[in-house]
Amino acid sequence: MSSSLKMNRKEMIAFLEQEFPQYLGEVSQVEEDYSLLRLPVDTSHLRPGGTVSGPTMMALADVALYVALLSKIGPVALAVTTDFTCHFLNKPKSDKALMAKARLLKQGKRLIIGEVELYSEGDTETLVAHVVASYSVPPAK
C-alpha cells in the first residue's frame, strides 16, 4: 500500500513540539485525505455568551491546515500563511471540544491551498466555521 504521507501522527506531534511548542490543540488524526485537530475547550477560550472566540477558532484552523500541509510535504518549518478567509457559521458548544478537519485543495510547488471545517465534537453536521487559506512554501531543493 503506497501512501503520499511524509509524516505520520507521531512524527507530526514530535515536530510541532520541537518547532512550535505553543501550538493550539491536539493532533487527533493525520490521514491521506485530511488531518484532524481537537481543542478541549476551557474558560480561557470563551468569550461572553459562553462561546469559543473567533480568533481561537481561526488559530486552531491555522494549525490544522499546517498539519495537513506538512503531512504531504514533510517537516518544512518555513511554510507561511499568505491569505486566510474564515466564515463563522454557528455558535460552537461551550461544553464540547472544538474539532478542525483540514484538507488540501491544491498542492502546488509554490502555493498550497486548503480548507478547514470546524465543528463541535460529536456534531459533524453543524459546521461552526469554514476556512480557506493559502500557504507559500519554499522551493524544493
Say whether residue 77 binds a second copy (CB under 8 A): yes
Q: How many residues bind a second copy (CB under 8 A)?
A: 35
Query: Which is nearest to 70 in space by CA: 18, 136, 3, 5?
Result: 5
Among 14, 20, 74, 76, binds a second copy (CB under 8 A): 20
- For residues 46 and 39, the answer to whether their CB atoms sit within 8 Å is no
Cβ-based nearer residue to a second copy, 35 or 134: 134
Binding segment for a second copy among 7-15, 27-35, 95-103, 108-116 (CB under 8 A)?
108-116
Q: Is 54 in the site for a second copy (CB under 8 A)?
A: yes
Verify binding: residue 80, a second copy, rule CB under 8 A: yes
CB 54 within 8 A of CB 41: no
Note whether 23 and 16 are within 8 A (CB). yes
Residue with cell 518544512: 76
| Pairwise CA distance, residues 33 & 50, whole Å | 33
Site for a second copy, rule CB under 8 A: 19-20, 22, 24, 44, 47-48, 54-55, 58-59, 62, 77, 80-90, 105-106, 110-111, 113, 115, 127, 130, 132, 134, 136
